[in-house]
Amino acid sequence: MTLCWRLDDGRQTLVLGCDRDRLAEVVYWGARLPDDEDLATLYAAHSIDVTGGMLDQNPELSICPEATRSFPGQPGLIIRDGDGTAYLPKFCLSGVDTREDGLTLTYQDQDNLLTYVATFDIDPVTHIITAEAALRAARPVHLHWLAAPVFPGPQLSDEMIDVSGRWCGEFQLNRTAWSPGIRYRENRTGRTGHEHFPGLVIPCRGATNARGEAYAFHYGWSGGHRMIAEELPDGRRQIQFGHAARMESQPRTEFRTGTLYAVYSDDGLNGCAVAFQRHLRDRVVTWPEPDRPRPVHYNCWEAVYFDHRMEVLKDIATRAATLGAERFVLDDGWFGQRDDDTSALADWEVDPRKYPEGLDPLITHVKEQGMTFGLWFEPEMINPDSKTFRAHPDWALGAEDQIPGRHQQALDMANPDVRDYLFERIGSILSSHDIEYIKWDHNRVLPMPDAAQTRGTYDLLDRLRAAHPRVEIESCASGGGRIAFGILARTQRVWLSDSND
């Protein structure tokens, strides 16, 4: 028996279907279909002919392509038992939850005691489709790969556009022709990265910035990630996004992908961009004061670096206010014994040598100039030359002999003791001072890509946001090294690039 479901907004329709309770396929995604469209006929028309020398039946390009169906491309799930034995799950539909603008499909593998859940929602205002996948196991398993629900690539496209970059050279567009095989992009730096932004745009033939059909995707995750755009031997195409391979370092019983954001546009590439921008502003970012215009910043970093002297900073603040600045940001160098970038990172206490009366005299002067006050932190990092490292060397992530970056190592954000320490230290400073803004920096790649590291950062941000809801946070990572909807759901703005001269 064939089952079909559809999600609509005013511009697009997404149709999923399955036969004999197998994993669903996206059988149509494009311009809005008539309300009375025969979905069963659409599903039947979706199938392609079997060619010689191949299988007797084409395996489904499903939302989680299955190796057990002899799928000829990248499967959507790769898991192993504790002894390394590969699972070969065979999922069967066990539940359907339909909502006005959403759909959740639940599948069971009774032999391996696995549950797979795919969730789709469509926003009728922003036109963004969100999709997530989750896996539950009765006993701990090793996850090598779990794709967010898989979408087909359009046949009427000759190329794809993805994004690369480097420090001070973020967001460089690459156009690659479709061809048999895989376009494979993976970031293993432990953050979104300058190198491989988790996004993909697929223009259909003849599309321009303002005209024609285009599809776009963004994987809203702030850690290591993978994108696969594959053309199968039979000509079908698939798009997969997920965490970077082997990101789950420990066996677990529950796994979840990040959110995959997808959109169809008949207004060219600009239509995709407008939809993402609107969804980001209206659905992802939450502001302490949504109706207030964002203030003009003055950041003192290039003016003083680590040489903090009260009278100099007050003079700079006065000049900044005269120029029209509305927020004064005190950058690196205010804490511990931080005289250069070799020491004191993670010692989040005001330096009494530079600020014998604390930060309040500077904050008071800044406010007298009509500005608000912001403060720089780099919570996820630590210098080996710091009081915190000497007290807790086990808090540093990775091997002892790892290559440092900017003389620093990363903290193990999966460790709840680390998160509790950071919450107490940062929270104490926010509670005892009139601070409206944090610049949250992240200046080195991680020694290993681990999803637990990103989840730990999210947890700390969520706790600080809940405890200090009026504090605005900006995400910075050596410029634009961590820009994704995952971090923007917990911050209000991003530092786009260090290329600001």
Low-confidence ranges of the chain (pLDDT < 50): none
Give the Cα separation of 449 and 392 in Å (integer).
22
Could you tell me how far CA 444 lies from the centroid of its own chain? 17
Tokens representing 171 are 């967001």
Give the Cα separation of 91 and 381 in Å (integer).
42
Give the Cα separation of 328 and 364 in Å (integer).
11
Helix or strand or coil: residue 472?
strand
pTM score: 0.96
Q: At what angle do helices 416-432 and 451-467 cross, to 10 degrees?
A: 30
498 is catalytic: yes
Q: What is the DSSP letter of 295?
A: P
Could you tell me how far CA 209 lies from the centroid of its own chain? 25
C-alpha to C-alpha distances, 433 to 252, 292, 373, 402, 500, nearest whole angstrom? 41, 22, 9, 37, 30
Could you tell me how far CA 472 lies from the centroid of its own chain? 19
DSSP 302-336: HHHTT---HHHHHHHHHHHHHHT-SEEEE-SSSBT
Domains 2-284 and 297-494 share a fold: no
Give the Cα separation of 417 and 64 in Å (integer).
37
35 is catalytic: no
Residue at token pair 């206490």: 349
The answer for residues whose C-beta is within 8 angstroms of residue 241's C-beta and 6 or more apart is 147, 148, 198, 200, 217, 219, 225, 226, 227, 228, 257, 258, 260
The C-alpha R_g of the chain, in whole angstroms, comes to 25
Of 110, 131, 108, whose CA–CA distance to 22 is shortest? 108
Amino acid identity for residue 25 in this structure: E
Domain 297-494: give its CATH code.
Answer: 3.20.20.70
Domain ranges of the chain: 2-284, 297-494
Number of CB atoms found within 10 A of residue 257's CB: 23
DSSP 125-169: TT--EEEEEEEEEEEEEEEEEEBSSPEEPPTT-SEEEEEEEETTE
Tokens representing 232 are 């199968």
Q: pLDDT of 46-61, one tens digit each?
A: 888 887 777 778 889 9
pLDDT for the residue numbered 428: 99
Dihedral of alpha carbons 449, 451, 457, 458, sign: positive
Q: Do 134 and 26 meet the contact criterion of CB atoms below 8 Å apart?
A: no
Domain 2-284: give its CATH code.
Answer: 2.70.98.60
Judge residue 176's burial from the number of C-beta atoms within 10 Å of its C-beta, 0-12 exposed, 13-18 middle, 19 or more buried.
exposed
Give the Cα separation of 353 and 422 in Å (integer).
23
Give the Cα separation of 384 and 393 in Å (integer).
8
Q: pLDDT of 445-479, one tens digit each?
A: 998 878 999 999 999 999 999 999 999 999 999 99
Q: Which residues pair with 263 in a beta bridge?
A: 216
Give the Cα separation of 120 and 260 in Å (integer).
10
Instruction: Please identify which of the residues 441, 450, 459, 462 carries the catalytic annotation.
Output: 441
Helix or strand or coil: residue 119?
strand
Q: Do 66 and 89 meet the contact criterion of CB atoms below 8 Å apart?
A: yes
**Residues composing the chain:** 501
Q: pLDDT of 86-129, one tens digit each?
A: 899 999 999 999 999 999 999 999 999 999 999 999 999 999 99
> SS3 string of 190-233?
CCCCCCECCEEEEECCCCCCCCECEEEEEEECCCCEEEEEEECC
pLDDT for the residue numbered 501: 64
